[in-house]
Structure formats: C-alpha cells, structure tokens
Amino acid sequence: MTEVAFLGLGVMGYPMAGHLQRAGHRVQVWNRTRAKADAWCAQHGGQPATSPADAARSASIVLTCVGRDDDLESVVLGPDGILAGLRPGSLLIDHSTVSATLSRRLAAMLQEAGCGFVDAPVSGGQQGAINGQLSIFCGGSDSDVARAAPVLAAYARAQAHVGPSGSGQLAKMVNQICVAGVLQGLSEGMHFAQRAGLDVAQVMALVGQGAGSSWQLINRHATMIADQYDHGFAVDWMRKDLDIVLAEAAGLGLSLPGTEHVNDCYRAVQALGGGRWDTSSLLKALQAQTPDHTPPGNPS
C-alpha cells in the first residue's frame, strides 16, 4: 500500500482517484471546489485534505489532474501549494495536459527540493478514466518513471517512458495533432453525408468497418447524429491543447496547417457557446457555417 494524494477531481481525476483506492492504495483527495472532494469521500471513504500542501504532507506520491499551465502552477507553487507540503523523497506525478516548458521547470524545482517529478498526460477520455483504460505518456528520469509505473497501473491500459522531463507532454501533443485531424475528417464526412441526403447512420456503420474507421467514429458518430455533446473532452481543453501544440511547433520551426485550421474551427464552436461541449462538436461549426441545402433528387 502506498500513501497517495490526488488533487483535481474533475471529469478525469474523480474516477482515476477511485481506481487508486480500489487498487489498495491509501488515497487522500483535494479539490478546489470542496463539494467534489466531499462527494468522492462519501463514495470511497476518508476525509478531504484542506489544501494542496496538506494533501502533500500525508503522501509519498502526489498526483495532479487540473486544467492549464496557470492552474497547475498555482496548485504546485501557490502559498499553500504542493511544494509547501511535499516531504523530501516524495514524487509528484502530473496528469494535466500542459506545456512541456512548465513540466521541465517543475521537474527542476522538485529536484532541488529533493523530490521527483513525472509528467504523465493521458489519453482515452472520460470513458478511459472510468474504465481504467488510459494511455499514459511518461516523461522523467528512469528512477522516477519506474517508481510511478506500479501506481499508474491502477488506470493504465498502456504506459511508456518516452524520454526526459517534458517528453510526456510532447508525446501527448502528437496525440492531440492526430485527434484534431481525425475529428475534422469525421465531421466533414458526416456533414457531407447529411447534405448529400444519405442515411448517415448506415454510411458511418460501413465506414467504421473499413479504412476510414477510428476511435472517434466508433464512439462518437451516434451522439453526433443525435446532436448530443454534453459529455467527454471539452472544446475549451482542446483549444488549450492545440494552442500548446502550435506554440511548441513554432519553437521547432514547424508549420502545422491542418492543426491550425482545426484550432480555428474550435474557436467557432466556442463562439457558438460550446466551450464545454465534447470535441466531436466540430460538426456543429460546419452545420452553422453552411446554410441548409437539399440536393436535387433527394426529397427532404
């Protein structure tokens, strides 16, 4: 049994912390909005920590899953933050999707404090977190990543050490570039099918058994047809991720025109009020941009 603390009980963190407890670890949770920590403790037992520093004091391994760079910085470095409570020899594992620059900076600060750090962003979405089937991209030293691995096994379908600090975030950026392109293609394909008067469900079922298949198609096409977006991975988070990707690409002297275009399409979804909609809502932006058109020979 390891004494762990989990900070950030959102869509992802809440079920992930539950898996840690079911795997036999002693888990103390903290969440900025206390009600979520109370709900978690009512379900799994224990008492919420009163601050990130308080949570860190009780644990040898501390895990975070918060929002963007600023959020992680305040949780780790704030006046009552993790660093203020972390005992020397402890390990911080961060599951948030943030910049590689911040991950490297935190790793250096923690090393100075005699602690370890692993950047460990995840892929697999809300369903992957609930089912304990996440892919985890780990960046850090050999010894820190080896120490993290048995803990992460509680909710990992796959995990790998991809390089030194920051590399986990770089690998997650690759994931987001791929996901952005897949979702744009899926949305355009479904938009085309609708406007061409095809039976979209029938066509997508067939495409899903051929070379055009994808996780997004299999798991999202039915909800897209039903115009349901109140689930999954929020557009605001994808915008954050693609901004991080494009800044990193610019630093590498790379142009990613497809990713830039998808980022603009997500801006359009945000303008429709869809910041918290699932990322498959790219279809909504296409529908809003193109006036209704019934093709000749296809009665509405």
Q: Which residues bind ligand NAP (CB under 6 A)?
A: 8-13, 31-33, 36, 65-67, 71, 74-75, 96-97, 122-123, 125-126, 232-233, 237
Rank residues 10 and 18 by Cβ distance to ligand NAP and give the closer one. Answer: 10
Rank residues 29 and 265 by Cβ distance to ligand NAP and give the closer one. Answer: 29
Q: Cα 194 to the chain's mean position, in Å?
A: 30
Pairwise CA distance, residues 290 & 265, whole Å: 13
* Least separation in angstroms between CB 272 and ligand NAP: 19
Give yes or no for a contact between 294 and 247, defined as CB atoms under 8 angstroms apart: no
CB atoms near residue 211 (< 10 Å): 5
What sign does the CA torsion over 128, 134, 135, 137 have?
positive
* Least separation in angstroms between CB 130 and ligand NAP: 10
Q: What is the residue-wise DSSP string for 214-239?
A: -HHHHHHHHHHHTT--SSSSBHHHHH
172 in catalytic set: yes
Q: Cα 248 to the chain's mean position, in Å?
A: 18
* Least separation in angstroms between CB 300 and ligand NAP: 36
Residue of 36, 172, 240, 284 with catalytic role: 172
Nearest to residue 280, comparing CAs of 127, 69, 120, 130? Answer: 127
Residue number, nearest CB to ligand NAP: 10
* Least separation in angstroms between CB 10 and ligand NAP: 2
Rank residues 214 and 287 by Cβ distance to ligand NAP and give the closer one. Answer: 214
Pairwise CA distance, residues 257 & 250, whole Å: 12
Rank residues 134 and 193 by Cβ distance to ligand NAP and give the closer one. Answer: 134
Which residues does the annotation mark as catalytic?
Answer: 172
